[in-house]
Structure 1
Amino acid sequence: MKLIQYEFIKIIQKRSLVIFLVILCFVNIGIFAYVQNLDTTIPPSSYHQLQTDLASIPNHQRYEYIKTEYEKYQGFLTIEQLTTLRLNVQDNQYMIDSILSDFPDVEEKYGKLYKENHQPVYTKDLESEALFLENILNEFQKLHDYPSYIENIQAKAHMISQISIFHKENSIEEKNIQKTANDYQSRINTPITYECEKGISSILSFPITSLMIILAMMVIASSLIIDEKEKKLFSIIKITPKGQYQTMFAKCVVMFLIIGVITICMMVSELLYASYIYGLGNLSRSVQSLAQFYQCPYSLTVIEFIGLFIFIKWLAACLIGTLMLLCAIVFKNKITIMVLMIFIMAIEYGLYLIISPLDSLYLLKYFNLFSILQTDTFFQIYRNIDVFHQLISLQVLTFIGLVCLLLIMIVLTTMTYHYKRNMCIQNIEIKNFKHFSFPSLSLFQQECYKIFFIQKVFILCLLCIFVQCYQYHYVPIYQDSEEIIYQQYMKELEGPLTNEKEQWLLKLQKHYDNLNQQLSLISQKEKKGLISHSLSITLQQEISQQQIGEQSFQKVFQQYLDIQKNPQKQFVYPMAYQQYFIETTWTFMPTLLLCLFLLMSMSHVISYEYQNHANLVTQLTLKGRKPVLKIKLGLSLLIGFIFLMMTMFPSLFLLQQKYGFASLSASATSIQDFAIFPSWISIGMICLASFVLKILVVISIIVIIHVVGVKTKNHLLTLFMSTAFLLMPMILSYGGYHVLDAISLYPLFFAGQYISSVQGLLQILFSLLGYGILSVLGLRYLFAYYQNV
């Protein structure tokens, strides 16, 4: 017991290792949060609101509620499609007839409801609402059909057992049929609870957690064996009374405990976040109430299933850990150990991907480290395995095999450690291998090599590109019919008001006024009994078809009236500017990514020389201070500009593609949100000012990080202190907690939310002055104290 305690203390005392593991946990929950917020079409708030609504509806009525709502909004969406197509009846007649043939009574059934209120409840537009409710209905449909599913299993078992070809005493087929029926027999009366499962499924199916657990486990295993190999401590440890079996067993136990703690921390943090944004529902409901796991034959609640999920994931990670320990004991070179582990994991992943579930080698697919780590897919299947003419379910067999293999690996690792001699690290020496050195003596090229390759900034650049490509691929944009019509109007009218535009607007307004007068006359005639009710409805429907787009036109006409009063204004379609400058949906996640990549890439730049004690040499040279610092600052600004362009460009491209940043030369007052500016300021000037402001913020962030680096002389401290000062206040401001607004970067990054009032402009100005002065003082501090001992 004391050996376990001592090994645990040794791990805890390695601050860099502990900090790395903590960072892994934060990175895991950060990526999880980022991925959950990628879908702007159906945001997490939709699921949370639905979960709240379902809680107020009796369980037996929830399926019908979702079904009714889906049919209603699908009808609304169909009516909206018809409305859009009827803008050009001649070209779209075939499509209109096709839709009406598929949904002949849609306008009769939902037309009145559509006119009264067709605003979506859970999302921002009708298409997203219909898609959201369709996904929920598909889940609920499986739950609704669950009793029939169980009854069909029993009926098929009874029917097949009567067929002579299957009815063979003690045959595998007979046993399989009976075992399947018996396993599901107890599930006949399983209570099914209709609740949204998005929160649970997001946690259980998130693959990055498995990757982070593997990474943490490999680092821990490396720390337990390789670090002591490098220090040649095993030659002393192994001659002590408890330096053989007991020491290795203690190391295994410590590794298992730490991996267990990390796994629980990662999963619990995801549970808490998912509960906050989605809602988890009643965790005591049966696991069959999750549509993904309705085939699960075990009597488990959701909370018990999550516990089992974490336990199996932990066992798989422990097995990989013992494999890593064994490799670290056997081989003498770190590169060999890492290459071998990567090779083994690649083979396992290849088997997991390539082998079909129907292949004769299917056990290699399911009894596989990746299959077990991705435990959610493991429990979504039901299969029995023939073991010595006895049928065992796949999950039970895998669990038993996993435990047995883990015990075997512990024994094998302990025995290998006992009999292994000369446990030390050796470098690989390859004969006739030509070693290349960096040829340039240029300070600039040397610093480039150091920052981009030694400090791995190029990997962050590649990761940023990957994340942005992923985001670009998964960000849909939807416009309802009214918005499309409005956009078409604005494209026709874009620019200053002319006589032709004015005449066209007045003519169209007169047309809509005449239509409204006709509707009024028809109603009056019906009241006086001059026409029948059916004829009145027919005439009103004909006129209503001609009124399509009137609501959008009125928005345009109001803008025309405003331009008449203020001739300096122009017709401008404002959607792209509103989305980019005013709304945070498009800008917060890219801004957060920008800050994270700047923090991770810049925290090494200054502190690298201090941690390697290179400053003791370079500060004595002619160019070791100010010239090197200028190059570091220049490269840092270049990297900051690269990250700024990579994080902001996808959003700009998507908005330009969908809405267009038109009329850049028009007066800023043409857009209502920019009305506070003088008329001589154009929209393009505001866009340019916003871009320059972001560049100044990036410069301030870089300078502050470098100042912290000079002050702390430590990479991890620089990262944590800079994150606490720069990132946390901004996140709190975004979340609605304005305690640290005075030092937050939020007004500078999201200046569009502050430009509608003088007070907001002053707040931007004060923040800019504050960070500007801080940056100037920071630069003076850097040039005064850089590389001082």
Structure 2
Amino acid sequence: MRVLVIELKKLFSGKVFLLIIAAVFTLNAYLMFRTANSGEAVSTDYQKIYDVLDEMTDEEKLDWLDEQLSDFSQATQYKWTAMAELRDECESVLTYKDFLESIDSQAKSMTSISIFAKPDTFNYRSILKTPPAYKNVQDVVPGFDRSQGIILATDNSFTDILCGFIVLFAVLSVMLSDREQGMSGLLFSLKRGRGYLLLTKLATLGVTVFLAVLLLCAENIFISSYLYGLGDLSRPIQSLSGFIGCNLKINIWQYLILYVLFKFIAIFCIGVVLSLIAVNTKNTVSFYGISATILVIEGVLYALIHPLSIYSVFHYINIIAFTKVNEIFCNYKNINFFEYPVPLIPTSISALLIFTLVGGGLSAYIYSKKRNLEFRKIGLKMKYGRSNKVHSQIWYTLYKSLILQKGALVIALFIAVAGFMSHNFMKKYDPSDVYYQYYTEKTKGPINADTIEFFENESARFSDLQSQLNEIQQNEPNNYTKMNELSKQLAPNMGFVPAYERLQQIKNIDGAYMFYDTGYKRAFGKAGYDDDMKYALAAVLLLVFLVSPLIANDNKYKMSFIISSTTSGKRSYLRRNVLAVAIYGLLAALLWIVPYSVTVSQYYGHSGLGGSLRSITDFISLPVNMKVWQYLLLVAVLRTLFVILSALVMLWVSSRCRNTTAAVLINFAIFALPIIIYLLGAKAMVNVGFCPLLSVNAISNNTSMVNIVILTSFIGVLFFITMRNKEYKNEKNR
């Protein structure tokens, strides 16, 4: 118990860890409010309706909602989408008995159909198992009440992601800090310095995870109660929206307890997996690389395998799926386990407990059997095919980073990530954009008299068609055939109008071209996409894991004294690391810019490169009349320079840290965390730190100079600290 208390004190005494916890709770609260008020119907719309419904019976509530939905004069008083949603919920509650009866009737009818009536198939066995699963809820009487608060509190991905950050940093602090500080050799020699110590560390991790889950869930419940209200918590779980198919006979407050316990075990299981990786890896970079690989694989399996697939076991028995508690309990499901249906809920609970216990036990066993992590045996190995050639100093710097510190593994992983991002790039289908592409591609090239004449003729044609349609609607309102035919002919007008309006705006600009510019708008951040920040996150994470160990790992082993005494000295050492970091920055920029450019070109084309940038209406007020290809090149060069600048700042952070873990945490907090927060929904973060520079779009699209001031101040502070440290060292040497 004493060791556990000491481990907890050591964990929570870290300022960085406490800062991360504070940031997580603040961001979680912000995202809760933003989610509740980002849809078409906001929390106040539901509150207004519930205030009227509270004193009614369920039947009266349904009648009132039907009446309001059929009375269009009330549309301004109550939100239509909110009423429609609540009406469907109320109807499902009132028809719960019919739902249970339909399960039996569907099972009977489906077993009589030839394609389902094969006894040796999963479908047949699953159909037979479903009706008995609902026997214990036959007497349940759900009630219609406020559901949105409970659903918001329990069904959001950002809370899981934020809780995952706490787990990751807890594992780093609890499992790797002793190794980073060179304490492993001392701890291994103690009586309880192996298996018992590892189990205590896992217990510390468990306490931390439990507190994090409990407090985050409490925060979610409190905010949801304020926004929507929670309703009667003693009503059956089937009363909640989306839980009509749950076969558990429990109340909502009982489900909340079950939710917290299951969520805790699921998050703790992820922590145990990370701990097992930490025990089996030799350095921090390997830990990050292997952890990211496993989590990416699990995420891909969860996302790509369909729940009804014969491989659905890999979709459900998955550490990512375990965190989706509502999806597990909201409905009775069977997993296809080699053509045998296995109930999802008991299977998930059993698998989760087995993964956690086996992972924890295996971690303790491996840790207790490992050799001293700081002082390894010196063995003689035959080195075939290796020469004694003396390489350049930069070669050894890259060898240390890529081979000894496992940087090559990180690069390989992020090349795969870049390929995955390009593979999953999507162009949303928009009929108006399809027609817009047709007209811009048909008239692509410099704007001349023929271009203007074509658009004027089309404009006259659409005006004539619209006049004919209006005339038929007035004189022949029942002539649907003719009206449908004219409507089809008018359909391209939805794309013609924006193309025609664009022509009117740019036709007098020197060097103006007509071309399909939707892809350029997307790439330049004008179309509402976050491509720049998504690819910037991948580039930043690559650099964080590559650059952070470079000098911090040498600081860990006090190599500065040896380096300073060599012929080349410290300056050459710094120059080599700066050159290596510049190479990594260039690589990260290329892994971002090249795949993205190729992908956008494949989906949107690349016509109009020689035209004026002001041909794109978003740039019509640009004071410099540059060509599109020149602006593309400028953005690529700026992003490359700013990525390299970010890498150099990461190197400076690495030089100030005593171990790799601290360098990774600080660099992650400075560079990656603001981008992640932005992608989670806090759009104001695009103006914070290095985000505007990495994006470049944020600088060109925003007239405010706040982001530049913030960045300049940040760099100024770093420069001031560096100069003060140099002055302090000079005075000390005197």
Q: In structure 2, how many angstroms separate the alpha carbons of the residues matched to 1:322 and 1:744?
A: 33
Kindly provide the amino acid, as one letter, of the partner of residue 462 in structure 1.
A
Aligned to 1:307: 257
Aligned to 1:12: 9
* SS of residue in 2 equivalent to 1:13: helix
The unaligned stretches of length 5 or more in structure 1 are 38-42, 69-120, 123-132, 159-175, 358-362, 385-392, 527-531
Q: In structure 1, how many angstroms separate the alpha carbons of the residues matched to 2:362 and 2:499?
A: 78
Equivalent residue for 2:618, pick from 673, 680, 695: 673
* SS of residue in 2 equivalent to 1:685: helix
- Mapped pair 1:604 → 2:549: yes
- Does structure 2 conserve the Cα–Cα contact (< 8 Å) formed by 1:229 and 1:424? no
User: What is the CA-CA distance between 1:272 and the residue it aligns to?
Assistant: 6.2
- Does structure 2 conserve the Cα–Cα contact (< 8 Å) formed by 1:665 and 1:684? yes
* SS of residue in 2 equivalent to 1:587: helix
Q: In structure 2, how many angstroms separate the alpha carbons of the residues matched to 1:694 and 1:731?
A: 19
- Mapped pair 1:294 → 2:291: no
User: What is the CA-CA distance between 1:222 and the residue it aligns to?
Assistant: 8.6
User: What is the CA-CA distance between 1:256 and the residue it aligns to?
Assistant: 2.9
Kindly provide the amino acid, as one letter, of the partner of residue 250 in structure 2.
S
Aligned to 2:504: 561
- Does structure 1 conserve the Cα–Cα contact (< 8 Å) formed by 2:433 and 2:495? yes
- Does structure 2 conserve the Cα–Cα contact (< 8 Å) formed by 1:667 and 1:681? yes
- Mapped pair 1:632 → 2:629: no
Provide Cα deviations, 1:84-103, integer angstroms capped at 9, x if missing partner.
Answer: xxxxxxxxxxxxxxxxxxxx
- Does structure 1 conserve the Cα–Cα contact (< 8 Å) formed by 2:614 and 2:620? yes
User: What is the CA-CA distance between 1:460 and the residue it aligns to?
Assistant: 3.0
User: What is the CA-CA distance between 1:488 and the residue it aligns to?
Assistant: 0.6
TM, length-normalised to structure 2 = 0.65
Equivalent residue for 1:445, pick from 366, 391, 395: 395
Q: Classify 1:659/1:449 alpha carbon distance in 2 versus 1 (closer, same or farther; 3 Å).
A: same
Q: Classify 1:540/1:220 alpha carbon distance in 2 versus 1 (closer, same or farther; 3 Å).
A: closer
Q: In structure 1, how many angstroms separate the alpha carbons of the residues matched to 2:208 and 2:244?
A: 26
Q: Classify 1:148/1:698 alpha carbon distance in 2 versus 1 (closer, same or farther; 3 Å).
A: same
Q: In structure 1, how many angstroms separate the alpha carbons of the residues matched to 2:199 and 2:327?
A: 28
User: What is the CA-CA distance between 1:586 and the residue it aligns to?
Assistant: 2.1
Q: In structure 2, how many angstroms separate the alpha carbons of the residues matched to 1:381 and 1:434?
A: 61
Kindly provide the amino acid, as one letter, of the partner of residue 428 in structure 2.
Y
Kindly provide the amino acid, as one letter, of the partner of residue 448 in structure 2.
T
Q: Classify 1:10/1:441 alpha carbon distance in 2 versus 1 (closer, same or farther; 3 Å).
A: farther
Kindly provide the amino acid, as one letter, of the partner of residue 547 in structure 2.
M
Equivalent residue for 2:212, pick from 258, 262, 265: 265
Provide Cα deviations, 1:45-77, integer angstroms capped at 9, x if missing partner.
Answer: 897445645555568799999999xxxxxxxxx
- Does structure 2 conserve the Cα–Cα contact (< 8 Å) formed by 1:674 and 1:756? no
The unaligned stretches of length 5 or more in structure 2 are 68-79, 109-128, 308-312, 335-342
Kindly provide the amino acid, as one letter, of the partner of residue 580 in structure 2.
L
**Greater mean deviation of Cα atoms: 763-772 or 448-457:** 763-772
Aligned to 1:183: 136
Provide Cα deviations, 1:203-226, integer angstroms capped at 9, x if missing partner.
Answer: 599799799969967985798999
Aligned to 1:200: 154
Aligned to 2:489: 546
Q: Classify 1:195/1:720 alpha carbon distance in 2 versus 1 (closer, same or farther; 3 Å).
A: closer
Aligned to 2:415: 465
Kindly provide the amino acid, as one letter, of the partner of residue 543 in structure 2.
L
Q: Classify 1:738/1:193 alpha carbon distance in 2 versus 1 (closer, same or farther; 3 Å).
A: closer
Aligned to 1:657: 602
- Does structure 2 conserve the Cα–Cα contact (< 8 Å) formed by 1:184 and 1:297? yes
Equivalent residue for 1:617, pick from 551, 562, 576: 562
Provide Cα deviations, 1:253-275, integer angstroms capped at 9, x if missing partner.
Answer: 77435413224425755896899
- Mapped pair 1:508 → 2:455: no
Q: In structure 2, how many angstroms separate the alpha carbons of the residues matched to 1:322 and 1:726?
A: 27
Q: In structure 2, how many angstroms separate the alpha carbons of the residues matched to 1:551 and 1:366?
A: 44
Q: In structure 2, how many angstroms separate the alpha carbons of the residues matched to 1:630 and 1:19?
A: 32
Q: In structure 2, how many angstroms separate the alpha carbons of the residues matched to 1:749 and 1:235?
A: 49
Provide Cα deviations, 1:344-392, integer angstroms capped at 9, x if missing partner.
Answer: x99xx9xx99xxx9xxxxx9x99999998886676467699xxxxxxxx
**1:88-107 to 2 correspondence within 5 Å?**
none
Kindly provide the amino acid, as one letter, of the partner of residue 441 in structure 1.
V
Aligned to 2:186: 231
Q: Classify 1:697/1:254 alpha carbon distance in 2 versus 1 (closer, same or farther; 3 Å).
A: closer
* SS of residue in 2 equivalent to 1:552: helix
Q: In structure 2, how many angstroms separate the alpha carbons of the residues matched to 1:413 and 1:746?
A: 39
Provide Cα deviations, 1:237-266, integer angstroms capped at 9, x if missing partner.
Answer: 69xxxx9xxx95x98577435413224425
Q: In structure 1, how many angstroms separate the alpha carbons of the residues matched to 2:711 and 2:358?
A: 63
* SS of residue in 2 equivalent to 1:297: coil
Q: Classify 1:554/1:610 alpha carbon distance in 2 versus 1 (closer, same or farther; 3 Å).
A: same
User: What is the CA-CA distance between 1:452 and the residue it aligns to?
Assistant: 1.8
User: What is the CA-CA distance between 1:494 and the residue it aligns to?
Assistant: 1.0
User: What is the CA-CA distance between 1:666 and the residue it aligns to?
Assistant: 0.6
Aligned to 2:540: 595
**Greater mean deviation of Cα atoms: 629-638 or 264-273:** 264-273
Kindly provide the amino acid, as one letter, of the partner of residue 137 in structure 2.
Y
- Does structure 2 conserve the Cα–Cα contact (< 8 Å) formed by 1:157 and 1:178? yes
The structure with the largest alpha-carbon Rg is 1
Equivalent residue for 2:448, pick from 481, 485, 498: 498
Q: Classify 1:463/1:679 alpha carbon distance in 2 versus 1 (closer, same or farther; 3 Å).
A: same
Provide Cα deviations, 1:450-482, integer angstroms capped at 9, x if missing partner.
Answer: 112333333332343344444445453223222
User: What is the CA-CA distance between 1:619 and the residue it aligns to?
Assistant: 1.6
Kindly provide the amino acid, as one letter, of the partner of residue 296 in structure 1.
N
Equivalent residue for 1:572, pick from 515, 521, 525: 515
Provide Cα deviations, 1:734-754, integer angstroms capped at 9, x if missing partner.
Answer: 97797996x743443344355
* SS of residue in 2 equivalent to 1:291: coil
Q: In structure 1, how many angstroms separate the alpha carbons of the residues matched to 2:674 and 2:318?
A: 44
**1:220-369 to 2 correspondence within 5 Å?**
230-231=185-186, 255-265=202-212, 269=216, 284=233, 286-288=236-238, 289=240, 291=242, 294-301=245-252, 304-312=254-262, 314=264
**1:684-703 to 2 correspondence within 5 Å?**
684-703=629-648
Kindly provide the amino acid, as one letter, of the partner of residue 251 in structure 2.
L
Q: In structure 1, how many angstroms separate the alpha carbons of the residues matched to 2:354 and 2:102?
A: 36
Kindly provide the amino acid, as one letter, of the partner of residue 547 in structure 1.
L
State the aligned residue count.
652
User: What is the CA-CA distance between 1:511 and the residue it aligns to?
Assistant: 2.2
Provide Cα deviations, 1:396-421, integer angstroms capped at 9, x if missing partner.
Answer: 8998999999999999999x99xxx9
Q: Classify 1:435/1:646 alpha carbon distance in 2 versus 1 (closer, same or farther; 3 Å).
A: same
Q: Classify 1:672/1:368 alpha carbon distance in 2 versus 1 (closer, same or farther; 3 Å).
A: closer
Q: Classify 1:480/1:62 alpha carbon distance in 2 versus 1 (closer, same or farther; 3 Å).
A: farther
User: What is the CA-CA distance between 1:563 and the residue it aligns to?
Assistant: 4.5
Q: In structure 2, how many angstroms separate the alpha carbons of the residues matched to 1:327 and 1:595?
A: 23
**Greater mean deviation of Cα atoms: 647-656 or 766-775:** 766-775
- Does structure 2 conserve the Cα–Cα contact (< 8 Å) formed by 1:700 and 1:775? no
User: What is the CA-CA distance between 1:654 and the residue it aligns to?
Assistant: 3.9
Percent sequence identity is: 15
Q: In structure 2, how many angstroms separate the alpha carbons of the residues matched to 1:726 and 1:704?
A: 10
Kindly provide the amino acid, as one letter, of the partner of residue 625 in structure 1.
K
**1:64-213 to 2 correspondence within 5 Å?**
146-151=96-101, 183-189=136-142, 195=148, 197=151, 200-203=154-157
Q: In structure 2, how many angstroms separate the alpha carbons of the residues matched to 1:513 and 1:322?
A: 68
Q: Classify 1:49/1:304 alpha carbon distance in 2 versus 1 (closer, same or farther; 3 Å).
A: farther
**Greater mean deviation of Cα atoms: 698-707 or 268-277:** 268-277
Aligned to 1:84: none
Q: In structure 1, how many angstroms separate the alpha carbons of the residues matched to 2:447 and 2:583?
A: 43
- Does structure 2 conserve the Cα–Cα contact (< 8 Å) formed by 1:493 and 1:571? yes
- Does structure 2 conserve the Cα–Cα contact (< 8 Å) formed by 1:629 and 1:786? no
- Does structure 1 conserve the Cα–Cα contact (< 8 Å) formed by 2:512 and 2:612? yes
